[in-house]
Amino acid sequence: MRITRKIAALLTAGVATVTLTACQSGAGTSEPAAAGDNAIETATSEAAGGGYTALSVSDFVERSTAAQAAMSTMRYTATFSGPAAEAQGMADAGMQGAMATGETAADTAMQMTMDIEGATFDMIMVGGDFYMNMGPLTQDKYLHVTGEDSSRAELDAMMQQLDQANIAGQTRAMEGAVSEVTEVGTETVNGVETHHYAVTVDLAKAKDLAALGIDEAMAREMGTMEVEYFLDEEDVPHRVVTTMAEGEQDLVVTVDITDQGEPVDIAAPAAGQIIDASEMGM
C-alpha cells in the first residue's frame, strides 16, 4: 500500500511540527550561544517586582535548553495557517497527540492524530515501527508499516526528522544563529502566564539546516526564520509559532504544549486492531 502524496505531505508536516517542539524537550544542555555580529538584544530588562530576567540573544539557546533538560514527555495540539496552508489544503488539518522522547528516534514514542478533510488519521510510532489508521482506507484498523513496505520511504523521512530533533538538533543548530530576541509582552496560554518572545534565526549562520527542517535552497531564499516562543517563568515553552516560507507563501505552524514532564502512555495497537495490506486487496 502506498500513502497518497497529500496524506504523506500532511503527516510529514505533522512530524516536522513535533520536532520543532521536541528539540525543546530533548535531554542534555548546550553551551551558551554566541551572539552574531549584528545581534540585537532587545529583551534584557527585569520584570518589575518579580525578579524575572528576560532572555536575550546571548542566553536564549542556553536557558531554553536548560529549562527542558529533565523533560522528556509532552502533549501537544497544532494548527496550520497562512497562504501556504490554504494552498495545500492544510488550513483545516488540526493535529494533536503525545510524545515521549528518547536519545534516538528508535527510543522515541509518538502518537499523532490529524483531521484531514473530514477524515481522522491516527499514527503511532513505537520502537521505530509505524502504525497507521487511515479510517475507511484501512477499515478503521492500523496498518503496520514495515521496512519492506513501499510507503516506508516517506516514513523514513519522518524518522530522520525525529532523530535530528532527539539529539537536540534544532536547538544546537540555532547556536550562534540567533540574531534577534524581542520580548513582545506577556500572554496567558492555556491558563499559564507566559512571556512572549519573537526570535529571529539567521539561517546563513545555522550549524545544521536539516535539523531546522530547511535545505540550503530554502535557507538562501528565506534568509531568516521567525519563531515565536511563549515561555513561563522557568523558561518552559507552552506555545511555539514557526513561520516558514513555502515558495513565495508563508506556512505558519502553531503548537500548544501541555503536560510537560507528565507520564504519557503510548503503545503499539493490539493485534486485533492491526490489518495486513493483503486484507485490503493490496
CB 97 within 8 A of CB 235: no
Average pLDDT score over residue span 135-163: 66
What are the sequence ranges of the domains in the chain? 5-259
Binned at pLDDT 50, 70 and 90, residue 156 comes out as low
How sure is the predictor about 5, in pLDDT bands with cuts at 50, 70 and 90?
very low
Q: Which residues pair with 230 in a beta bridge?
A: 196, 239
- Rounded Cα distance between 189 and 31, Å, is 29
Judge contact between 64 and 171, C-beta under 8 A. Answer: yes
Q: Which three cell numbers stand for residue 232?
A: 513561563
Rounded-to-integer distance, Cα 272 and Cα 147, Å: 21
| Residue 145: per-residue pLDDT | 75
C-alpha 187/C-alpha 123 separation (Å) is 32
Q: Work out the mean pLDDT of the chain and round it to a whole number.
A: 75
pLDDT digits (tens, 9 = 90+) for 42-93: 444 444 446 889 999 999 888 887 777 666 888 988 888 989 888 877 777 7
pLDDT digits (tens, 9 = 90+) for 255-268: 898 998 899 999 99
The pLDDT confidence band at residue 6, using thresholds 50, 70 and 90, is very low
List the helix and strand counts (H, then E) for the chain. 6, 13
- The residue ranking higher by pLDDT, 160 or 79, is 79
Highest mean pLDDT among 30-39, 110-119, 161-170: 110-119
> What pLDDT was estimated at residue 170?
62
CATH architecture designation of domain 5-259: Clam (2.50)
CB atoms within 10 A of CB 83: 15
pLDDT at 125 (0 to 100): 87
Q: Taking the C-alpha atoms of 189, 19, 82 and 214 in order, what is their torsion angle to the nearest 10 degrees?
A: 140
The Cα 131–Cα 274 span in angstroms is 8
Alpha carbon distances (Å) from 149 to 15, 51, 155, 200, 209:
20, 56, 10, 40, 29
Cα–Cα dist 269/40, whole Å: 49
Please determine, for residue 196, whether its predicted confidence score (pLDDT) is greater than 90. yes
Is residue 57 within 8 Å of 179, Cβ to Cβ?
yes
Phi/psi region, residue 190 (left: phi>0; alpha: psi -120 to 50; beta: rest), is left
Nearest alpha-carbon partner for 231 in 66, 26, 97? 66
